[in-house]
């Protein structure tokens, strides 16, 4: 089972949005998908519950409970882990031990970028990261590509040693779809396809993770 861990030390960077849309994409590809919600706020769980009637449903599991591993179905093919804001390396140890890849969303402001540096320095000390067994990708999120602030933020992120695997624009579509238990990948309008195109590099990178 391939497991994608979504984590950040900073709140408000679109972590749950990233996790839910990624889980929906896997489910729509016909893969049995689990969404492990390790955030006490349980926003990802409520999203999955609203999606339960769809053919491409996603199974939510409460990752805040002990021994959650016992509840993962044997036929699960993908698992996306949504973690709590402010997570430390210690909080993430159990997930980093099993993850195939890790995504770190970062917003386009100094208030988002500066705390992320310390977070990445901490998780870089995990044995699997040091050995190159756990790839980490940066997702520049909630961008307004036409603004100088977003352009400068992306330039800063691309100067880091870790790859920027996605550049996702800010959009109210994510908010609306979250309330419906839907994702960008459930629709095919011209406007939505533009947003889907933003995801192509990220999905390709996640697809290469083992």
Domain locations along the chain: 2-208
Structure confidence at residue 95 (pLDDT): 95
pTM: 0.95
Q: What does DSSP assign to residue 60?
A: E
CA dist., res. 116 & res. 9, Å (int): 6
Task: Just give the CATH number of 2-208.
Answer: 3.40.50.300
What does the mean pLDDT of the chain come to? 94
Q: Could you read off the pLDDT of 162-207 as tens digits, one per residue?
A: 999 999 999 999 999 999 999 999 998 888 888 999 999 999 999 9
Please, which pLDDT band fits residue 63 given cuts at 50, 70 and 90? very high
Spell out the residues 6+ positions from residue 182 whose beta carbon is closer than 8 angstroms to its own.
24, 51
Confidence check: pLDDT of 85 > 90: no
The counts of H helices and E strands in the chain are 8, 7
| Token digits of residue 9 | 């030390």
Q: Could you read off the pLDDT of 144-156 as tens digits, one per residue?
A: 999 999 999 999 9
């Amino acid at each position: 089972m391939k497991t994608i861990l979504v984590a950040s030390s900073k709140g408000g960077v679109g972590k749950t949005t990233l996790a839910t849309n990624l889980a929906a994409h896997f489910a729509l590809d016909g893969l049995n998908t689990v969404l492990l919600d390790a955030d006490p706020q349980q926003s990802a769980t409520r999203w999955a519950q609203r999606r339960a009637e769809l053919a491409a449903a996603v199974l939510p599991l409460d990752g805040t409970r002990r021994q959650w591993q016992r509840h993962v179905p044997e036929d699960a093919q993908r698992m996306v882990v949504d973690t709590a804001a402010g997570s430390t390396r210690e909080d993430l140890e159990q997930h980093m031990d099993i993850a195939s890849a890790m995504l770190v969303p970062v917003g386009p402001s100094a208030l988002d970028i500066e705390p992320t540096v310390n977070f990445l320095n901490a998780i870089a000390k995990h044995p699997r990261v040091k050995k190159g067994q756990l790839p980490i990708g940066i997702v520049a999120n909630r961008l307004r590509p036409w603004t100088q602030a977003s352009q400068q933020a992306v330039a800063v992120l691309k100067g880091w040693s870790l790859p920027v695997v996605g550049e996702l624009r800010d959009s109210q579509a994510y908010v609306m779809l979250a309330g419906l238990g839907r994702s960008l990948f459930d629709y095919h309008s011209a406007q939505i396809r533009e947003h889907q195109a933003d995801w192509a590099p990220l999905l390709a990178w996640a697809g290469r993770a083992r």
